[in-house]
Amino acid sequence: MTGTQATIPAQQRRSGAARQMLLAFASLIALVIGFSLASPNFFQVSNIMAILQATSVNGVLAVGVTLIIITGGIDLSIGTLMTFCAVMTGVVLTWAGMPLILGVLTAIGTGAACGLVSGMFVARMKIPPFIATLGMMLMLKGLSLIVTGTKPIYFNDTPGFTQIAQGSVVGALIPGLPLPNGVLILFLVAAVTAWILGRTVLGRYTFALGSNEEAVRLSGVNTDAWKMAIYALAGGIVGIGGLLISSRLNSAQPALGLGYELEAIAAVVIGGTSLAGGRGTILGTLIGALIMSVLTNGLRVLSVAPEWQTVVTGAIIIVAVYADQLRRRKASQG
């Protein structure tokens, strides 16, 4: 009896986390079934592809910010950073006429560099993440407008650029499944990030920092350096988001981006990642992002007034987090 006592809650915890994932997934399926029953036009290949396409950018941003949130931080700059990465890609491709691959590297590199700067504000200068990234958010928005002279940069001179998000490698292989590349990239980014979180030292420190930063520091880990690395990785992922949105729009829109951070954070939260840090999964975030876009698309297909769409989305966020709270309360009692 006494011997097993310690392991019982451990198992409960594990199954609790799995149940939370299942819960989110079940909600997603329930939404899909509900909308499919409500409208014959919802469950069509083209509409499902549209939903996935709409998830790709928010999903990638959400994956990036999940890392930061697990460390117990927050990143408000991801929306405008995405735009800034898109703008820098435009500068390299359209203005300088460089080859496509350099544009791709620019987007990721710009994201990682800006992430590193945010990380430096947070880790070295000890500015609270909320403030540091709020500052970054505004600086990057301004820089995007300055660099572009407030006009969008179009990618008409770079053939193939729109293929990054809009083309379909899968569709070329399987004709019935025109899965946009943007979605494929989202899944790849999610898979790689999940691998990093679960298998590598960087991932381990991400959880450890969010769990008890002081304890990590006392264990002799250079917490500042690792935190900066995590912000840089998240920035690089956001850079990929910048590529996707600019490829989708065939342009870098300098005024875009504000508000995207909150949508990404909402997806992370719906996916069960705790804003308190230390806990979270990429799969959950992915499901959270899908729930959000299924919801918006479904309500639109049903011609629900846009005002009500906003209300419902807000309510879903509250319900999702409340369900998580209930689960946790249950787990802590068990």
Name which of residues 288 to 307 contact another protein (CB under 8 A). Answer: 293, 296-304, 306-307
Number of residues that bind another protein (CB under 8 A): 92
The binding track of 211-250 with respect to another protein, each residue x by CB under 8 A or -, is: xx-xxxxxxxxx----------------------x--xxx
Least distance from another protein to the Cβ atom of residue 219, Å: 4
Dihedral, 252, 185, 61, 323 alpha carbons, nearest 10: 150
Contacts to another protein from residues 246-275, by CB under 8 A: 248-251, 253, 255-259
Site membership for another protein, residue 26 (CB under 8 A): yes
Residue 132 to residues 11, 115, 194, Cα–Cα distance (Å) = 39, 11, 26
**Stretch touching another protein by CB under 8 A, among 4-12, 92-100, 129-137, 231-239:** 4-12
Residue 82 found at the interface with another protein (CB under 8 A): no
Q: Is 102 in the site for another protein (CB under 8 A)?
A: no
**63 sits near another protein (criterion: CB under 8 A):** no
138 is an interface residue for another protein by CB under 8 A: no
Q: Does residue 31 touch another protein according to CB under 8 A?
A: yes
For residues 6 and 125, which CB has a smaller minimum distance to another protein in the complex? Answer: 6
Neighbour count for residue 284 (Cβ, 10 Å)? 26
- Work out whether 131 is an interface residue with another protein (CB under 8 A): no
- Radius of gyration, CA atoms only, the chain: 20
- How far, in whole angstroms, is CA 235 from its chain's centroid? 11
What's 152's DSSP letter? Answer: P
State the Cα angle at 92 between 87 and 94, rounded to 5°. 85
User: What are the CA-CA distances from residue 109 to residues 79, 196, 199 (Å)?
Assistant: 16, 19, 24
| 311 binds another protein per the rule CB under 8 A | no
Residue 84 binding another protein, by CB under 8 A: no
Nearer to another protein, 42 or 231 (CB): 42
Give the residue, chosen from 18, 201, 225, 318, that forms a contact with another protein under the rule CB under 8 A: 201
b/e burial code for range 131-152 (CB count within 10 A of at least 16 → b): ebbbebbebbbebbeebbeeeb
Residue 54: which residues within 8 A CB-CB, separation 6 or more? 293, 296, 297
When asked if residue 191 is in the footprint of another protein (CB under 8 A), the reply is no
Binding range to another protein, per CB under 8 A, among 35-43, 104-112, 122-130, 230-238: 35-43
Look up residue 25 and give its two tokens: 């997934």
Among 166, 170, 275, 283, which residue interacts with another protein (rule: CB under 8 A)?
A: 166
Overall residue count recorded for the chain in this entry = 334
Interface with another protein includes 96 (CB under 8 A)?
A: no
Output the CA angle 12-198-134, nearest 5 degrees. Answer: 100
Pairwise CA distance, residues 266 & 288, whole Å: 8
Minimum gap (Å) between residue 5 Cβ and another protein? 7
Task: By CB under 8 A, tell whether 184 contacts another protein.
Answer: no
Measured distance CA(53)–CA(31) in Å, rounded: 18
Q: For helices 223-249 and 78-90, give the axis angle rounded to 10 degrees.
A: 60
Residue choice 57, 265, 266, 287 for contact with another protein (CB under 8 A) = 57
Applying CB under 8 A, does 113 fall inside the site for another protein? no
